[in-house]
Structure 1
């Protein structure tokens, strides 16, 4: 087994060379970059590296315009110096509450240069969640967009804070901005910190307060996992609309920085604006979550026709389940360019499905990339190997999880860590995710995974979005309740929907109730907030 793992590492290093992430013609630069990675962390190291190689290449485009890699590097130096002058030293934790724009990227790079740890906060936080996470992570300063000023009322008044983005007309109360730090401080490089500050990525928090998953270092193997099964452009253009404060957006930005790509971002997702960004910048890659892709495919054909997106070679999807129906429809709209990435904050990348695999098994999450492997285990911790047999998904990754910041950890069996999901391998060896382990509903002694029923409902032309939960029932223990968002212009009938499910699935999978809503509660990465639906009051 050890020999096989070593061969995987050799293959990964070859992939890094093939994709231009490590250049054998520049051995001194490679050695320098590897040394820097040990102290600056990935976000600062990769920007510094690309700024040395191609300083005038465009690095980032947002609503304020374009920054080159050289400008990004120098501005981050100045911000880091300003934060140091304010007393933020190595090992300190700072919080970043930002949408996708230059302020977030500059904050991450500056934190790496300074050796402070940066906690990437969820922009969907309510005030109590934000305050509790800041206290738990021992945050000593907050870098934030002006729209979140109200959330900071819950924090100590003397906590240092800096504005990363200022909306027009916003009352900032004289709070310093990143632009102020850039203007007031020299932009020459800082001395290297003794150790990398690292970063904290928060889990999605679909079942409660988000947990903190720290990453003190990032192995180059993590980059190889991305480029193994996903065709990243090289010195090309990526549009990222998936939140960069979360794993997929962050990971694809880091890979893009390593290869010297231009990354185009926007603070708020808009379906038509995303198509415009792809067309205007002739982007080869789009990174999104399935709910965003759904909204793009639902645009009227005449609107989609306004934008030439033929440059797209790859749409990377992650963050929530890709339904078979959306997979088929999006392929019809954009062509065979979908790449379905499955992983988690803790596991990093587990598998990726390529277009040919999605054509064979729509909705599959595919196969593991280099240095990763997936196994299934039953409730007795015995490995499940039979084709089609359901088991708990466990992942061996080249980017191991270090444990939550509250001291807890995921279950590990034989070096494989639980993803928290249930799934099976089909006859092609492709992994199919059946749902979350804790989402399973036991109704009348039968196990029901909501995702199966939801996928069926999404096949209907009159259903825009759907969710199924279990609610308490005196007779069956749990009964199924479906929440439906109708397709615009349609008025589906609840009784007819029940009959439709009964015709296609087992009787015990038929919802006893159907509730119609204008929208479903989802977090910024597109994950369904089932706990909100469980608490939803339905009039008898």
Structure 2
């Protein structure tokens, strides 16, 4: 006799798969009724991975369709496919093989995209390096990840002393604003030269796709490596279920590709045959100009980028037509209620707030309807994702409005860091490292990092609540709150505040403001004013730099 619970699990899995296929079909990823096209897509993705495989399919579908636009102009999917063939052949001739680890230290441009494609066609593992790295971080990561070759932008040449002797091959890319690369020696090739001098015919498929290695944000130390091997195409539905990307449209990529937010939406946009517009460096006004020029329907950002856009002079904002946008996709760090509301006032009800991490991938997404109902929410889990809260003893929390540790299950969750370590798991779900609560409608709110909780006089305080309150003031641009040692209370709260331009602020005014809105023990004892908060390249706050 079959176990009833196993029958239920199979039934639920079948229903989830059916829902995923429907979501993908609505988005245009499943070319019904052209099932032959669907089968070709599955074969290509299985052979070369989701990115290189999707590019081949898009090139075959329409050889004239533009896949990428950067400062140098447009490239069709066909051009990207052929050029990456030539680059993969060149790398193979230089000794790179399936299983090689290639690191990319590049900003967002065609050179990085071609490196990603070529690595997939070789079956090499591509490590996406943070462009904000200093020499010690670069050296530590390259050694730990056993990097054998490095693709780098010319502007990072001075960092290469840190990996001298560790890396066998340098595979340079000429920056857009320089006609000649600063070669370490004449043997270091330029990507354009490699491509121009090699055959662009298709390559035989590797035994298995190489995949990507993403790095954690590294806000408290050297970033850890989180591998992203090939996954089922069905997992695309986790994004598409609550974020209405559609085939053949146009995406403006503001978030850097080396970060999970940018990488996931970049690959998904290519899979949908969308044109992706990018720049090497984020500029808020140029972003609006690009959205207008290319009639972009989706804009992908981290919250600090969105902040810089909404803080533009109203006269600048009025210059650009952004009515084509159906989606402003925000992820990577917390989106405050004030910023989300200001963005909604600017762009309309198009803000989609994704919550996840490098390790768990997607956890929840707040749609514009969710945000209207509950500003600050991170929404609900999409199809294929499961979120649960647990207390300190590992007991599941089922009541609303009770804070607990957030655990996530997803087919995109990683299987452990490259150094062999992993995060805590309960009931098959992976710890996100955050604490949060569900409201009465089942919407999730993140209350903070579990390691950022401040205990002051026996009371628990999560910084995000105080920070969100402070930034609601029009005279406060940014705010961060930390705990500092205190003989009497164990810890006391200290706030770091970036005033808005022209603001006349003092510490007493801010303390009184917090006191009138929150419990007494949540009032910062100290307030320090700064010109800017320390952040990493993806906009995450570096609390360890605040003292």
* TM-score range for the pair, normalised by the shorter chain length: over 0.9
Checking the alignment, whether the CA contact within 8 Å between 1:239 and 1:278 is kept in structure 2 is yes
Q: Distance in 2 between matches of 1:164 and 1:221?
A: 34
Q: Distance in 1 between matches of 2:537 and 2:441?
A: 33
- Superposition misfits of 4+ residues, deviation over 4 angstroms: none
Q: Distance in 2 between matches of 1:349 and 1:164?
A: 32
Q: Distance in 1 between matches of 2:12 and 2:398?
A: 20
CA distances 1:402-440 after superposition (whole Å, capped 9, x unpaired) = 110010111111111111110001122110011111111
Correspondence for 1:161: 170
Q: Is the partner of 2:300 in helix, strand or coil?
A: strand
Tell me, yes or no, if structure 1 residue 510 matches structure 2 residue 523: yes
Checking the alignment, whether the CA contact within 8 Å between 1:54 and 1:260 is kept in structure 2 is no
Correspondence for 1:367: 380
Tell me, yes or no, if structure 1 residue 343 matches structure 2 residue 356: yes
Correspondence for 1:523: 536
Which among 157, 182, 186 is matched to residue 172 of structure 1? 182
Checking the alignment, whether the CA contact within 8 Å between 2:231 and 2:412 is kept in structure 1 is yes
Q: Distance in 1 between matches of 2:249 and 2:473?
A: 38
Q: Is the partner of 2:434 in helix, strand or coil?
A: strand
Tell me, yes or no, if structure 1 residue 462 matches structure 2 residue 475: yes
1:443-458 map, 5 Å: 443-458=456-471
Q: Is the partner of 1:47 in helix, strand or coil?
A: helix
1:400 positional shift: 3.1
Q: Is the partner of 2:516 in helix, strand or coil?
A: helix
Q: Distance in 2 between matches of 1:171 and 1:38?
A: 36
CA distances 1:225-258 after superposition (whole Å, capped 9, x unpaired) = 1111011132111001011111111111111111
Checking the alignment, whether the CA contact within 8 Å between 2:48 and 2:123 is kept in structure 1 is yes
Q: Is the partner of 1:482 in helix, strand or coil?
A: strand
**Matched residues, number:** 534
Correspondence for 2:209: 196
CA distances 1:456-505 after superposition (whole Å, capped 9, x unpaired) = 00011110001001111222111111111110111310111111111111
Which among 354, 358, 381 is matched to residue 371 of structure 2? 358
Q: Distance in 1 between matches of 2:140 and 2:180?
A: 26
Tell me, yes or no, if structure 1 residue 217 matches structure 2 residue 230: yes
Tell me, yes or no, if structure 1 residue 418 matches structure 2 residue 431: yes
Correspondence for 2:490: 477
Q: Distance in 2 between matches of 1:496 and 1:399?
A: 46
1:164 positional shift: 2.6
CA distances 1:171-222 after superposition (whole Å, capped 9, x unpaired) = 5124321101111111110010011111101111112111100012122122
1:381-460 map, 5 Å: 381-460=394-473
Correspondence for 1:62: 70
Correspondence for 1:129: 137
Using structure 1 for the length normalisation, give the TM-score: 0.97
Which among 5, 26, 35 is matched to residue 18 of structure 1? 26
The worse-fitting range, judged by mean Cα deviation, of 180-189 and 150-159 is: 150-159
Q: Distance in 2 between matches of 1:523 and 1:54?
A: 39
Q: Can you give the 5+ residue segments of structure 1 that lack an aligned partner in the other structure?
A: none
Checking the alignment, whether the CA contact within 8 Å between 2:29 and 2:247 is kept in structure 1 is no
Q: Distance in 1 between matches of 2:493 and 2:135?
A: 32
Tell me, yes or no, if structure 1 residue 329 matches structure 2 residue 339: no
Checking the alignment, whether the CA contact within 8 Å between 1:146 and 1:170 is kept in structure 2 is no
**1:364/1:165 CA distance change after superposition, 3 Å:** farther
Correspondence for 1:32: 40
Q: Distance in 1 between matches of 2:238 and 2:90?
A: 36
Q: Distance in 2 between matches of 1:222 and 1:531?
A: 35
Q: Distance in 2 between matches of 1:238 and 1:400?
A: 25
CA distances 1:343-365 after superposition (whole Å, capped 9, x unpaired) = 11111111100101101111110
Checking the alignment, whether the CA contact within 8 Å between 1:39 and 1:115 is kept in structure 2 is no
Checking the alignment, whether the CA contact within 8 Å between 1:233 and 1:285 is kept in structure 2 is no
Using structure 2 for the length normalisation, give the TM-score: 0.96
Tell me, yes or no, if structure 1 residue 269 matches structure 2 residue 277: no
Q: Distance in 2 between matches of 1:484 and 1:344?
A: 26
Aligned alpha-carbon RMSD (Å):
1.2
Q: Is the partner of 1:350 in helix, strand or coil?
A: strand
**1:422/1:165 CA distance change after superposition, 3 Å:** farther
Q: Can you give the 5+ residue segments of structure 2 that lack an aligned partner in the other structure?
A: 1-7
Q: Distance in 1 between matches of 2:207 and 2:41?
A: 16
**1:155/1:377 CA distance change after superposition, 3 Å:** same
The worse-fitting range, judged by mean Cα deviation, of 393-402 and 359-368 is: 393-402
Q: Is the partner of 1:33 in helix, strand or coil?
A: helix
Q: Is the partner of 2:485 in helix, strand or coil?
A: strand
Correspondence for 1:490: 503
Checking the alignment, whether the CA contact within 8 Å between 1:17 and 1:24 is kept in structure 2 is yes
Q: Distance in 1 between matches of 2:343 and 2:72?
A: 31
Correspondence for 1:77: 85
CA distances 1:278-330 after superposition (whole Å, capped 9, x unpaired) = 01111111000111111111111111011111111110000010000111111
Q: Distance in 2 between matches of 1:90 and 1:397?
A: 28
Q: Distance in 2 between matches of 1:392 and 1:67?
A: 45
Correspondence for 2:243: 230
1:170 positional shift: 5.8
